[in-house]
Amino acid sequence: MKMKRALISGLAVVLAGCASGPQNSSTMDTKTLADYQREAGKFHSILSLPVFETTTNDIAQSVRQTIAAGNLALDGIGKLEPAQLTFANTARALDDAGYQAGVTQNRLEIIKQTSTNAALREAAVEQMKVLEEWLVGLDYREDVFQSLQAYADTHPKLTGEDAKLLQETMRDYRRAGLALPKAQHDEVEDLRKKLTGLETDFESNINKARQIVTFTKAEMDGVPEDFLEQKDVKNSDGTYSVLANVTWHYLTVMENAKSEAARLRLQTARDNLARAENVPLLQQILVLRDTIAHKLGYATWADFQTEVKMVKTGARAEDFLERLKAGLQPKFDAEVAEFRALKAKETGNAQAQVALWDWRYYANQLKKEKYTVDEEALRVYFPYQSALEGMFKIYQRIFGLKFQQIQAPDKWVPDLQLYAVSDSTTGEPLGLFYLDMFPREGKYNHFAQFDIIGGKLLPDGKYQRPTVALICNFPSPDHGRPSLLAHHDVETLFHEFGHAMHSILTRAKYGRFAGTSVPRDFVEAPSQMLENWVWDKKVLDSFAADYRDPSKKIPAEILGKLKEAKLATEGNYYRRQLSFGLADLALHTQIHAGNEQETVALANQIAGQTFYPEAPDTAFVAFFGHLMGYDAGYYGYAWADAIAADMATVFQGAPDGFFDRDAGRRLRREIYEPGDSRDVQISIEKFLGRPQSIAPFLKKLGINGDMPAGK
């Protein structure tokens, strides 16, 4: 996952050493932050740490000051006379203003996600709302737009990143409706406000949706006892209450319940969550989106949404998904045949067919029967500190970097670690990263990289180097036993730290292009690519060893089994992804005022043709949260996976494989450094040294050959 914001936290708790993650003397340098900051000065750049607010008043004050400074900057742009207009006081000044507000936003995000003080976390949430509201209003400053438009109308001779900045700034205004005559622009603004309100309601209905499904003991045959014995699940009369809206309840039953009738009942309940409230809302939302798209000059909402992504048009997104769907057909068919054989055997019905409510159950049976791997037993090979240092060694080598742990002046938790990143050849300091890696009460509960201070060329000509944080939840060390990671934790570590590299190594001049500010259908690709590393025996052998006896490496056959198990149901995994992606695109190209009553039928039909037919009388779209915020964007998951597989071939074909310095430096130079300062399509092809191909992705899924040609 990639969180765009960063964060902070309050407290200046300074403790030497730490309870978890033993400090490794080899990585602890005697250099201080001040040394790195001085060194950065020689390269005309700045390294900084955030100064975190420590009281709720400070937080409110920061937001007030940020907004006041922002308004001042915008007023300055808005009142420029035509003769005064320059690139620096229009496009760049606007980027500066947005950047400064973003730095505050990032810091509050860190407080919200990591502070050990609940009152500070709440204040951060509240104040972020205030700041976000102000940021939304930025688009609608008519006076600022007029200055930018007047400058653009002079047709300045700009090149490269400068030209891209002006062009995309004007594109944002056009997309917000400001290029339209005043009356129409006001109308678009009203429609968008109405849309935002409905979207919020849709999401809140999803959050509120709750449905208990009651099952008998017999119906729960196969479901693990420790699930059934929970006090919320087990009823006094011997029945069980399963919550259809709680994903892990749903998954536990769908993967394990032998009774098909029970699975069907739960699937039906799940796919009817929020139906009464959200179907009418979704119909209104789709009509509004379509109307707005037309008013802005787009044929469909999908075209509007994809214009700013790599894929560029709704038709191209759909074409990609359709071709992938066709390419996956043989693999999907083979998997379904395997499930069907299991079902025929289990039910004694030779004609048994596999349904939507069956596939998770038979996928689980298949894994148990054919690919038994004790994933827990693998943890002994991955003590946290060795995995971290092993990854550091590889990334330092391939990207030409040096990471050194330095003393953090302030720590929001005692075991927080801070590192400086510098170029291994020139010594140039490139950025800082924090590691906050173990769970605690009130902390963000997933794994993500957060930007705190983004990279940017400052108005005084110095370059602000980035500061980021990895906020994770690896297993805590326990009773003298080190933190032991699962294999998928190691994969997550390689992935998230990839985002940190993308952020830190940036050379983009403008905040809006720096680091991971790339199109959303690309941002995950470089990190997805780095997940390949942890499936490579050589990579694992460079750091994975039994912590009780480091002479023991991870057995090749276990790794092989893990790979096979993963591959065994990839056809189902991707066809399901494609079913959502295609339904999402269909809704955002085919529903308009007049046919909105067909919303549910259309989504069910498209999804059913791509994966398994939907359960009778259901409306999964009512509980499909991605339709808000990721609308006409679900295709992006598979799209980025395909690019990741393609990019991985550069390392796979290199002399040193996943340790190859030339390939790593090329990734740094062509992908990480430019960020979005040039079209990412160009960056990808420069990195690949050839046009993009879908074949490596299909090959990874066990399919040889290319996808059928596009339309």
Would you please indicate which residues are annotated as catalytic (active-site) residues? 496
Q: 585 near 281, Cβ under 8 Å?
A: no
Pairing status of strand 467-471 against strand 429-436: parallel
Q: 367 near 568, Cβ under 8 Å?
A: yes
Q: Which of residues 318 and 524 has its CB atom nearest to Zn ion in the complex?
A: 524
Q: Which of residues 446 and 665 has its CB atom nearest to Zn ion in the complex?
A: 446
Q: Which of residues 62 and 527 has its CB atom nearest to Zn ion in the complex?
A: 527
Binding mask 495-524 for Zn ion (x = CB under 5 A): -----------------------------x
Instruction: Find the part of the chain contacting Zn ion (CB under 5 A) among 2-10, 45-53, 148-156, 162-170.
Output: 2-10
Please state the closest distance from residue 2 (CB atom) to Zn ion, in A: 4
Q: Which of residues 356 and 391 has its CB atom nearest to Zn ion in the complex?
A: 391
For the segment 432-451, give every residue that binds Zn ion (CB under 5 A).
none
Instruction: Find the part of the chain contacting Zn ion (CB under 5 A) among 140-148, 527-535, 607-615, 678-686.
Output: 527-535
Please state the closest distance from residue 170 (CB atom) to Zn ion, in A: 30
Please state the closest distance from residue 524 (CB atom) to Zn ion, in A: 5
Q: Which of residues 271 and 524 has its CB atom nearest to Zn ion in the complex?
A: 524
CA dihedral 575, 579, 584, 586 (to 10 degrees): 120
Q: Is 300 in the site for Zn ion (CB under 5 A)?
A: no
Phi-psi region of 186 (alpha: psi -120 to 50; beta: other; left: phi over 0): alpha
Q: Is 4 in the site for Zn ion (CB under 5 A)?
A: no
Please state the closest distance from residue 581 (CB atom) to Zn ion, in A: 18
Q: Which residues contact 663 (CB under 8 A, 6 or more apart)?
A: 398, 650, 651, 654, 656
Q: 318 near 582, Cβ under 8 Å?
A: yes
Residue whose beta carbon is closest to Zn ion: 2
Please state the closest distance from residue 1 (CB atom) to Zn ion, in A: 5
Q: Is 527 in the site for Zn ion (CB under 5 A)?
A: yes
Tokens of 707: 């996808």
**DSSP characters over 420-450:** EEEETTT--EEEEEEEE-S--TTS--S-EEE
Q: Is 1 in the site for Zn ion (CB under 5 A)?
A: yes
Please state the closest distance from residue 527 (CB atom) to Zn ion, in A: 5
Q: What is the distance between the alpha carbons of residues 68 and 53, in angstroms, rounded to a whole number?
A: 18
Q: Is 2 in the site for Zn ion (CB under 5 A)?
A: yes
Cβ–Cβ contacts within 10 Å for residue 481, how many?
14
| Closest among 314, 305, 202 to 622, alpha carbons compared | 202
For the segment 549-568, give every residue that binds Zn ion (CB under 5 A).
none
Residue type at 204 in one-letter notation: S
121 exposed, middle or buried (CB, 10 Å; 0-12, 13-18, 19+)?
Answer: buried
Residue type at 85 in one-letter notation: L
Phi, psi of 160 (to 5 degrees): 50, -130
Q: Which of residues 1 and 14 has its CB atom nearest to Zn ion in the complex?
A: 1
Please state the closest distance from residue 447 (CB atom) to Zn ion, in A: 9
Q: Which residues contact 196 (CB under 8 A, 6 or more apart)?
A: none
| Closest among 290, 323, 681, 670 to 505, alpha carbons compared | 670
Q: Which of residues 526 and 696 has its CB atom nearest to Zn ion in the complex?
A: 526
Instruction: Find the part of the chain contacting Zn ion (CB under 5 A) among 1-9, 113-121, 149-157, 592-600.
Output: 1-9
Residue type at 337 in one-letter notation: A
Q: Please report, as ranges, the residues that interact with Zn ion according to CB under 5 A.
A: 1-2, 524, 527
